[in-house]
Structure 1
Amino acid sequence: MLPPFDYLTYRRIRNQKQADRDRRFSSLPHPYLLGITKSDKEIINQPIEQLVEDIQTSKTSALTVLRTYGKVAVRAQKRTNCITELLLPEAESWLESEVNLKGPLAGIPVSVKDSLQVKGFDTTLGYSSLAGQPFPEDGAMIKLLKDAGAVPYAKTALPITLLSFESANGLWGPCLNPHGLRYSPGGSTGGEGALLAQGGRIGIGSDVAGSVRVPAAWSGIYSLRCSTGRWPKAGVSTSMAGQEGIPSVFSPMARTLNDLTYFTRAMIGMQPWKYDHTVHPIVWRDELEVEAQNKPLRIGLMSNDGVIPPTPAIERALATTVAALTEAGHTVTDITTPNGADPFTGLNLASQLLNSDGCHHFNVPIRSFEPSDPGADQLTRIAHLPRGLRYLYYLYVRYIKRDSILATLIRDFGPKSSAQLWPLVAQREAFRATWHNWWNAEPQQFDFILCPANATPALPHKAMHDAMSSCGYTFLWNLLDYSAGVMPVGYVEVARDSLDGPYRKVLRRLGSDHAVARGAWKHYDAIQMAGLPTAVQIVGRRWQEEQVLGYMSVVEQALEQYRDPHTGESSRYTLLEID
């Protein structure tokens, strides 16, 4: 259809989908519209193991639990616009006929990213062209959840294109950060971050460059990026089907570390390889999780990726974590990344692999004049430049602007033929081999690497126009396919986290005054960001999900016991109050 009629179709579908969603919320049964009670708060804060046991022994009704989290969803949606498709009251009927209440997740409500396929509901990914096409059957992931006893109850917000740390699209609008409504909750699984921060229990998202880890960092929750083949990925939709240069992985998110660990263990215990041919039959190894928690650890510290220095709030969160671990008896050592396989080389390689189609596929479903993500738009414009013009642009940035970082990212960014793509895949494998050998060698042999999840706390809405390349602290581990977890540490504080001068002057002092770093740092303002969560990332090796969760437990215990020498008090992050 030609514009303007295509645009009018988008507007009509957008209005219809939002009106349908509003009706579903307003027509919920009366119990969902009541206030959060004391007993609701007890359910929300009850350890997941005890809640499952109470449901299995009929001490607590699964319907009561579902209605508690339904109330949470109603309030979270009103505040942050985090839900796309509300699965209530269908979830009530699933409790009676499809959910296995004897499973390891008996009666636990689980929210899922909009991209998961649920029977009877659209999977729009934020594209109006994908609306009005409800799936006739549950995807494999939803089937697995129901067989485990979990109850899917909401699908959550994401960005159009799925390539952004924002979670906004023209179909559903922007999702807001509950810690500060002017800020993004992260992306592309930002709806999960917002809902879980406000009292949700468990979520499932996808991650190709940090899409479960940045929402965790920016929303103040926990997430685990699983290695490929450890967690199911069937039964989902994507904006880049067939892209395997940097495979997207679906992974768990949770409000607490205990929930995250229990959920991950339960899902793998369900033998997901029986549901999805891409899953390796690796059983859950309890002994590795326990071992990780019961020995002095050797930790490698990557405080700066050499591209974007951490802003003061993130630098302080990292320093606090290092001090807590050191005080707890662990050894933390600064690392020097392998020669020829440094994080910037990885960022450039991963960017080319991920967008080797020239940004074609994620743009195909967008109707004329339908809003896209500002960062994805910039990538598209660069990728669509004729090769000669792109090279001239590279020369201008490299030699006139004297920005070697941005110039390098521009130079080879564009559509690749098979003859061009294969050498990139070979480079990826060589990059992985270099890191494998480096980690094995002395003096490394670290148990895990500690680093930021992002250089900044949550950024304002639409900041991706400037900060589209601020993904290096997470993207590196996707390229390597390492297991990585994110956990909150504290909050931005004005007195301790403000810049000591204009941001460009600070970046010049740090030797990082280039466009990629400026794009992230220009939005950093400790006064405006006060109260936003800060976080760190715990990185293990491939298929080390058990160990990473064990290491996260060690870090959490160390932070809980640590007392800030400036205040004499714990600066540990506390969950948002549920009202």
Structure 2
Amino acid sequence: MSGRLSYRGVEVTLEGQQHIPSAVGPMARTLNSLKLVTKLAIEAEPWTMDPQLPPLPWRENLFQNFVTRRLVIGSMLDDGMIKVHPPVERVFRNLVAKLEAAGHEVIEWDSSLNSSIIDIMDGYYAADGGEDIRRAVAAGGEPFIPQIEAFVNRGKPISAFEYWQLNKRKVATQQAYHDMWDSKRSTSGRSVDVLLVPTMPHTAVPHGSCRWTGYTKIFNFLDYTALAFPAGNASKDGDDRYFWDHIPRNETDAWNQQLYDPVAMDGRCVGLQIIGRRFEEEKVLGAAQQIHTLL
């Protein structure tokens, strides 16, 4: 969700920061349930009890339009930093082929702004020197997860002025992404409706071994609407020859490459996500309904 459901009364880490606010949204076992819960939650007019929310009612006409229209979809299989595992690529490409066969237009999406987004996000995460998370862990009385401990101890708090500079970079990058989206056109001259993106570069991995969430962080930063869904399953019999020819771009990419185990991952779910712009829940849910019929 992109800020249309209330966080009032809900415990949240890093409460008080406004640079990349967390978002609350439903989880469901079926797409119909997901749509129903979202629709009912918005129709309850949560902005009447939470001044942080926009007074934006549910737009059924917009939802119905995206259930039936021929879509223009931006395809971003690679975020430019971490290459996805072969099962993710196979499931992604198979879905793109089905979308094109069904008459939808799919265009390659530009990933050039992604590294700047991740850099700004990482600056925000370290802005308080890890103090908020450190206090939350202490209050809970449980030991740190090693990866989290390393994360919160990696830097010192920044000054108010340095924080303002991060905010300026954030706004400029959000504007650049907005302008990029506006400038994209399909071969028929139509603008892009939604994006199709992996949720992670891999399927489920052993506890403590996940090191990259960049495929979702990008859209947290942009405050865009995202719907994650199961799109297929890994298979140990898939073609992974070219994956091992990939030369890692960085240390995390190398780590991700060595995580790939076709036998251990056999049958595990591959997740993809549909991305819309801010406050476009109806569009994303409508597009998801069309995409779901092709799976």
What is the TM-score with the length of structure 2 in the denominator?
0.93
Matched, 1:352 2:132: no
Q: 1:449 aligns with which of 180, 189, 195?
A: 195
1:447 to 1:365, Cα distance in 2 relative to 1, 3 A: closer
Question: Aligned to 1:375, which of 147, 157, 170?
Answer: 147
Task: State whether residues 126 and 154 of structure 2, in contact with CA within 8 Å, keep that contact through their aligned partners in structure 1.
Answer: no
1:537 to 273, 276, 280: 273
Name the counterpart of 1:491: 233
The residue identity in structure 1 corresponding to 2:198 is P
Counterpart of 1:285 in structure 2 is 59
Cα distance in 2 between the residues matched to 1:527 and 1:371: 33
- Equivalent of 2:223 in 453, 468, 481: 481
Native 8 Å contact 2:79 2:111 kept in 1:
no
Structure 1 residues 362 and 442, CA, compared in 2 at 3 Å: closer, same or farther?
Answer: closer
Aligned to 2:50: 276
Paired residues for 1:102-501 under 5 Å? 226-228=1-3, 230-337=4-111, 342-367=113-138, 370-383=142-155, 414-443=156-185, 445-464=191-210, 467=211, 470-496=212-238, 499-500=240-241
**Cα offset, 1:374, TM superposition:** 2.4
1:507-550: CA deviation from partner (whole Å, max 9, x where unpaired): xx434342111233322212011121012111111100000001
> Take 1:276 and 1:520, find their aligned partners in 2: how far apart are those partners?
41
The SS at the match of 1:320 is helix
Structure 2 counterpart SS, 1:476: helix
The question of whether the paired residues in 2 share the 8 Å contact of 1:353 and 1:425 is answered with no
Letter in 2 for 1:346: I
CA displacement at 1:442 relative to structure 2: 4.2
Question: Matched residues, percent identical?
Answer: 30
Structure number with the bigger relative contact order (C-alpha 8 A, sep ≥ 6) is 2
Q: TM-score, normalised by structure 1?
A: 0.48
Deviation at 1:463, TM superposition (A): 1.3
Is 1:523–2:259 an aligned residue pair? yes
Conserved 8 A contact 2:31-2:289: yes
CA-based RMSD: 1.8
Tell me the SS of whatever aligns to 1:549. helix
Contact 1:307–1:512 (CA<8 Å) still a contact in 2?
no
Give the counterpart letter for 2:145 in structure 1.
D
Equivalents in 2 of 1:355, 1:271: separation in Å? 35
| Paired amino acid for 1:476 | I
The aligned length equals: 290
Give the letter aligned to residue 241 of structure 2: D
Gaps of 5+ in 1: 1-225, 384-413, 560-579
* 1:250 CA displacement: 0.8
Partner Cα distance (2:110, 2:15) in 1? 36
Task: Write the letter of the residue equivalent to 2:192.
Answer: F
Distance (Å, rounded) in 2 between the aligned partners of 1:511 and 1:415: 35
Q: Is the 8 A contact 2:130 2:153 kept in 1?
A: no
**Using the alignment, how far apart are the partners of 1:551 and 1:532 within structure 2?**
25
Letter in 1 for 2:278: R
Equivalent pair of 1:456/1:521 in contact (CA under 8 Å): no
Equivalent-residue separation in structure 1 for 2:103 and 2:175 (angstroms): 32
Output aligned runs, 1:551-566, within 5 Å.
551-559=287-295
Q: Distance in 1 between matches of 2:23 and 2:53?
A: 11
The amino acid that maps onto 2:124 is L
Q: Which amino acid aligns with 1:422?
A: W
SS at match of 1:495: coil
Quick one: distance in 1 between partners of 2:228 and 2:138? 36
Other structure's SS at 2:253 match: helix
